Structure 1
Amino acid sequence: MSFPMILPPPSPALSPVCPHQRHVGKALPPEMVTRLYNGMKALDLPGKGQRPSDGISREQFTVSMSHLLKGSSEEKSLVVLKMISATEEPVKAGEVQKFAQDLVGAVVHVLHHRKLLRGWEGQAVPDANPRIRELAAQLLSEVKLQGGRKPAGPQWQDCACDRAVVEDWVFRVPHVASFLSVVIHRGLALMPSSLDLATLVPQRQVAQGREFESLLDVPSLVYINSHLPAELRHRWRLLFASELHGHSFAQLLGHIVHQGPCVTLLEDHDGHVFGGFASCSWEVKPQFQGDSRCFLFSISPQMAVFTHTGYNNHFMYLNHGQQTIPNGLAKNGKSILDVDPEAQALLEISGRTLHSHGLREASAE
């Protein structure tokens, strides 16, 4: 197998260069090239003493690629730790955060550069995209520090993350391995990949002449798609957009009823982006519908998913034209009107009053 020999930069440059520049081109940001170089160069090969070298040997390249692509979480963490910091472990949580941000940024860059966006090409450009930082922060929130603590507060950046912490993070957060696969297979373009990109970026289907810029960009799209049932991750079809179809609730009903599972996305007047996944077709009726696969999510100002609590079966609700029972669309974990602020936001997003507010049953004291 041939491979591009990655060499260190001539002083005073900070990023390594690749002699086979035509092979890699600008597919990878220099920050990620630097991290790959550091991870390969620092890899200890069993039975072979380390000798000073300005380059990376074939053995170092092959073993590091094998670890990152096909290795166990223990093997992956060996290379990831050196990609995070060239110093001896442990690393700091702040360094893990910067690695996660560079990793997400590299994936977005690769997908744009290689034209692998599957119908999402018109969305926000990757440079200085705040949602790269938001997805990186979400990945970091999955880190369990020593003692099982979660990163929290401004002081967490100095918390130590040893090899066991990084290994646990790599094991429990599949996005880390998937993103590394995209960087190597699609960025370096070294070998065929078993990773189906459709599981990351679904095909976007919009009627000809009806293109518009979605509220979703690549990081948020990848995040939401990863939480859908596996059979629904390959293709998304636009049903309704207020920019195209107007703000009529009746128009919304006409486009989403009996169309199968769907993702609903909203933006409020403060720029917060959120929504929910409906696991089955919407039906207009005065009963709750759906199942435990439904979930709510937030995209901005932070990425998070809120799954079924088990409190009740109030998953989905859609009603219209009734005089004595609540009207509207909602996805909810407890009470459709009182308990869950996300559900209330779905009813109030248009700025209209809750006409059914006075029709609720009185709560028991």
Structure 2
Amino acid sequence: KMGNAESNAYRNHLSRFLPEEQSDIDEVFDTLSGSSGSAAAKNGKATKKTVTLGALQAAYTREPLPEQMTIRLYNGMKSIDLTGKSSGLSEQIAKEQFVIFMSNLLKGNADEKITIIMRMISTTEGPVKGKQIQEFTEDLIMSVVHVLSYRKELKGWDLENTRDSGSGIKALASQLLSELKLADGAKPVGPQLLEMNFDQSVIEDWVYRVPQISTFLSVVIRQGLHVLHSLSDQAKDIVNLVPGCKGIKGRGLVSLFDIPSIIYINSHLPAELQHKWRLLFSSRLHGESFSQLCGHIVNKGPCIVILKDLDGYIFGGFASHSWEVKPQFQGDNRCFLFSVFPSLAVYTYTGYNDHYMYLNHGQQTMPNGLGMGGQHDYFGLWIDSDYGKGHSRAKPRCTTYNSPQLSAKENFTLDSMEVWAVGDLPESAETKGKKSILDVDPEAQALLEMTGKSRQSEGLREPIEDDD
């Protein structure tokens, strides 16, 4: 029997859960320990119920969780020391360990999570190698993608309509690992990081500063173990982890985004825009034309632009305001540039200038095209109105966003491009959205009429898609 101090500590853990949450945890534990409990009952012994690794694997492995993750969760549960004698940790998980595991990982601070996370990274005590942290992080991200897909919680995205998640998992893991900071403030990189030993305090600091680790663990526990997954305390960071996806269904399109990059980029958007993305333009659907691009994205509210160059690099930017065709810079300091492949990163504003976003068309004196960051002829990201050409001239860094060159070559050729509206459609867009570049630019209209092609683009316009 537990001593008083221990049972008080256990009661404190229990008290973090509402009564209905407690009964949810009880139910999952009873189901998992059921086999061992019933066998004991037959023998007439009232043994204490416990959960074995075998029971966890039988319940969760392959579907909904990759096996490696089930083992890591088990190691985390097993590491909870109820007696203070860590040497004698049992192979079986007691109810108290199960509850404290849930309490620390779902409700605890970095300090409470850290010993469990250390044991999930490595079963041996002491410092862990960078390579082990990398494997843990990749397993964690893979499990999030896997379990959300299995539970049908990807909200309109799926593994068929997005880029292969394999490279996205590795890219997001390296991005999160790049935040590991040694006691002296240095951030190790590359092979050096993988070989280096990290002690618990460094990893605790990392978990504290990198919210994704806790969020992903929470998703894996709630959706993987199917405990507390439908209850009201789900934090906003989980609810909007993946934005709802509109406008891609049934169109046979595979997005340039993969699931991990959607999760990462979405987390950098203003909170009120994280719940929904809606496809406005895809060069594969709407054709390779700058007029088409403008016609589909003007006055549609904040947007994400993503493109792929012929070398396979994938990158883009978030525009915080509706795009407007005009010869001035627009937007505000919430705009950012990002890279998805070969590496995943977000580059936010520096305060150096306000050249956030620019869109111009049909002017003789000013550059015509779509640009973000930097200055004319030296944009962090530029797509020329002569569709198909672009540049990312950021040597050594873009002045507005501190981004490096995003494309493989400074002057690139566009392979494909998508624009996603994020958040709810702005009020004004319902009326304005029906305008095309022809309405915005009377010159283009006059030119078309002269050549006898009056308003033919009417047929190309698509109705604004209702939310399904």
Smaller-chain TM-score bracket: 0.7 to 0.9
Q: Which residue is 2:185 aligned to? A: 148
**Could you tell me how far apart the structure 1 residues matched to 2:121 and 2:268 are?**
27
Aligned partner of 2:276: which letter? R
**Could you tell me how far apart the structure 2 residues matched to 1:348 and 1:299 are?**
24
* Deviation digits for residues 15-56 of structure 1 (CA, Å, limit 9, x no counterpart): 943268457771011010111111111222255676453311
**Could you tell me how far apart the structure 2 residues matched to 1:252 and 1:348 are?**
10
> Comparing 170-179 with 88-97, which one deviates more in the overlay?
88-97
**Could you tell me how far apart the structure 1 residues matched to 2:321 and 2:377 are?**
22
281, 289, 307: which is aligned to 1:248? 289
Q: Which residue is 2:369 aligned to? A: 328
Aligned partner of 2:303: which letter? C
**Could you tell me how far apart the structure 2 residues matched to 1:349 and 1:303 are?**
28
Q: Which residue is 2:336 aligned to? A: 295
Q: Which residue is 1:262 aligned to? A: 303
**Preserved contact between residue 146 and residue 161 of structure 1 (Cα < 8 Å):** no
**Could you tell me how far apart the structure 2 residues matched to 1:336 and 1:178 are?**
40
- Please show how residues 116-155 of structure 1 align to structure 2 within 5 Å: 116-121=153-158, 122-124=160-162, 129-155=166-192
The structure whose Rg is larger is: 2
**Could you tell me how far apart the structure 2 residues matched to 1:214 and 1:186 are?**
25
**Could you tell me how far apart the structure 2 residues matched to 1:162 and 1:83 are?**
14
Deviation at 1:353, TM superposition (A): 7.8
377, 391, 404: which is aligned to 1:337? 377
Counterpart secondary structure, 1:101: helix
Change in 2 beyond 3 A, CA 1:336/1:244: same
* Deviation digits for residues 76-124 of structure 1 (CA, Å, limit 9, x no counterpart): 1111001001111211112111111110011011011111111112334
262, 267, 284: which is aligned to 1:226? 267
Q: Which residue is 1:308 aligned to? A: 349
120, 133, 142: which is aligned to 1:105? 142
**Could you tell me how far apart the structure 2 residues matched to 1:46 and 1:348 are?**
70
Counterpart secondary structure, 2:170: helix
Q: Which residue is 2:78 aligned to? A: 41
69, 91, 109: which is aligned to 1:72? 109
Change in 2 beyond 3 A, CA 1:284/1:348: closer
TM-score (norm. length: structure 1): 0.87
> Comparing 87-96 with 15-24, which one deviates more in the overlay?
15-24
> Comparing 141-150 with 98-107, which one deviates more in the overlay?
141-150
Counterpart secondary structure, 1:210: coil
**Preserved contact between residue 220 and residue 299 of structure 1 (Cα < 8 Å):** yes
Aligned partner of 1:188: which letter? L
* Deviation digits for residues 231-261 of structure 1 (CA, Å, limit 9, x no counterpart): 0000111111111100110011111000000
**Could you tell me how far apart the structure 2 residues matched to 1:297 and 1:124 are?**
18
Q: Which residue is 1:93 aligned to? A: 130
Q: Which residue is 2:409 aligned to? A: none
Counterpart secondary structure, 2:111: helix
**Preserved contact between residue 146 and residue 165 of structure 1 (Cα < 8 Å):** yes
Change in 2 beyond 3 A, CA 1:75/1:22: closer
* Deviation digits for residues 263-292 of structure 1 (CA, Å, limit 9, x no counterpart): 001010011110000001000000000000
**Could you tell me how far apart the structure 2 residues matched to 1:349 and 1:33 are?**
52
Change in 2 beyond 3 A, CA 1:68/1:56: same
Counterpart secondary structure, 2:375: coil
Q: Which residue is 1:195 aligned to? A: 235
**Preserved contact between residue 56 and residue 70 of structure 2 (Cα < 8 Å):** no
Q: Which residue is 1:158 aligned to? A: 195
**Preserved contact between residue 61 and residue 67 of structure 2 (Cα < 8 Å):** no
Deviation at 1:57, TM superposition (A): 1.2
**Preserved contact between residue 306 and residue 317 of structure 2 (Cα < 8 Å):** yes
Change in 2 beyond 3 A, CA 1:49/1:85: closer
* Deviation digits for residues 121-159 of structure 1 (CA, Å, limit 9, x no counterpart): 2334877x1111110111101111231111213222122
**Could you tell me how far apart the structure 1 residues matched to 2:56 and 2:70 are?**
13
Deviation at 1:65, TM superposition (A): 1.5
In terms of fraction of residues, the more strand-rich structure is 2
**Could you tell me how far apart the structure 2 residues matched to 1:80 and 1:329 are?**
45
Q: Which residue is 1:238 aligned to? A: 279
**Preserved contact between residue 81 and residue 89 of structure 2 (Cα < 8 Å):** no
Deviation at 1:195, TM superposition (A): 3.3
**Could you tell me how far apart the structure 2 residues matched to 1:323 and 1:16 are?**
70
Change in 2 beyond 3 A, CA 1:188/1:134: same
- Please show how residues 210-221 of structure 1 align to structure 2 within 5 Å: 210-221=251-262
Change in 2 beyond 3 A, CA 1:91/1:282: same
**Preserved contact between residue 290 and residue 387 of structure 2 (Cα < 8 Å):** no
Deviation at 1:208, TM superposition (A): 6.1
**Could you tell me how far apart the structure 1 residues matched to 2:385 and 2:83 are?**
62
Change in 2 beyond 3 A, CA 1:317/1:163: same
**Could you tell me how far apart the structure 1 residues matched to 2:57 and 2:196 are?**
39
Change in 2 beyond 3 A, CA 1:353/1:136: closer
**Preserved contact between residue 56 and residue 74 of structure 2 (Cα < 8 Å):** no
**Could you tell me how far apart the structure 2 residues matched to 1:152 and 1:19 are?**
36
Counterpart secondary structure, 2:329: strand
Pairing 1:275–2:316 present: yes
* Deviation digits for residues 176-224 of structure 1 (CA, Å, limit 9, x no counterpart): 0110010000000012351344411111111764351111121111011
